[in-house]
Structure 1
Amino acid sequence: MVASNFSLALTLAAIISVWVAADAAHHHHTASAPSPSSVDCSSLILNMADCLSFVSSGSEVSKPEGTCCSGLKTVLKTDAECLCEAYKSSASLGVTLNVTKAMTLPALCKVSAPPLTNCA
């Protein structure tokens, strides 16, 4: 169990590092100065780190753990579009999501969220 938690933490750290680097490169090339109201999705999505154990493909975790639901609420309240960015970039970051489980998160956390099908 400790080894799997360590492996999950290491994977999450690697994903976050790649995501932050990609996000920084994207902002560097697309805008000379970010607007004061822009949200850093990579930092915001970190609030949902505890959800990874539930939504990762192959996970046998049956319900969201830890601060997953409060993290989801924070993301939805701050910028729901960040969920789409996380969903769309997850595969390129080495995370294979169980989309069926990911789509159950709002109901399990008792929050309303736009459907993933709205992600263009």
Structure 2
Amino acid sequence: MPCVVPASNLVASKMVKKSTVTSLVLILLTTFWAGIIAQSSCTTVLISLSPCLDYISGNSSTPSRGCCTQLANVVLSQPRCLCEVLNDGGESLGLSINRTQALALPKDCNVQNPPISECNGEDPIYFTD
């Protein structure tokens, strides 16, 4: 004997599925949007360090005065963004970063900052050698 399901159960089942899918989509969009906001705020900060590009890409042996000024500003305002460029090597910005030069930048600019081990924490900070 075939199983007959009342129409009201089918409608309720479809509504539950639709509600679940809608909730899942909203959660994914919220998570995605939060990531974009975080990335764009760091992208803006890292763009402000453009005077340092010659140095951290290995094309210059000393950082410019403008680079050091910007580095000091970023260390004070958004140090966690510097961890991002160190951790991904600048790939997210389409850059090729010389890690040795990047790690030497604070010392060469005479800018004090927290240790590199802080980059691995929950709220990472910039690095020192």
Q: Please, which runs of 5 or more residues in structure 1 have no aligned partner?
A: 1-25
Q: Please, which runs of 5 or more residues in structure 2 have no aligned partner?
A: 1-28, 121-129
Task: Describe the shift of the 1:60–1:93 C-alpha distance in structure 2 as closer, same or farther (beyond 3 A).
Answer: closer
Please give the TM-score of this superposition, normalised by the length of structure 2: 0.56
| Residues 1:101 and 2:75 aligned together | no
Tell me how many residue pairs correspond in the alignment: 89
- Residue identity in the other structure for 1:68: C
Distance 2:86 2:46 in 1: 10
Greater RCO (CA < 8 Å, at least 6 residues apart): 1
Maintained 8 Å contact 1:47/1:74: no
| Residues 1:63 and 2:62 aligned together | yes
Deviation at residue 114 of structure 1 after TM alignment? 2.5
Maintained 8 Å contact 1:45/1:83: yes
Deviation at residue 93 of structure 1 after TM alignment? 3.4
Secondary structure of 2:87's aligned partner? helix
Secondary structure of 1:119's aligned partner? helix
| Residues 1:116 and 2:121 aligned together | no
User: What are the residue-to-residue correspondences of 1:1-120 with 2, within 5 Å?
Assistant: 29-31=32-34, 40-56=41-57, 59-89=58-88, 90-120=90-120
Q: Which has the larger radius of gyration?
A: 2
Please give the TM-score of this superposition, normalised by the length of structure 1: 0.60
Distance 2:65 2:30 in 1: 31
Per-residue deviation, residues 55-105 of structure 1 (Å, max 9, x unmatched): 11xx34110025110110111110210101122341243322111111111
Alignment RMSD (CA, Å) = 3.0
How many percent identity over aligned positions?
Answer: 32
Task: List structure 1 segments (4+ residues) > 6 angstroms apart after TM superposition.
Answer: none
Give the corresponding residue for 2:9.
none
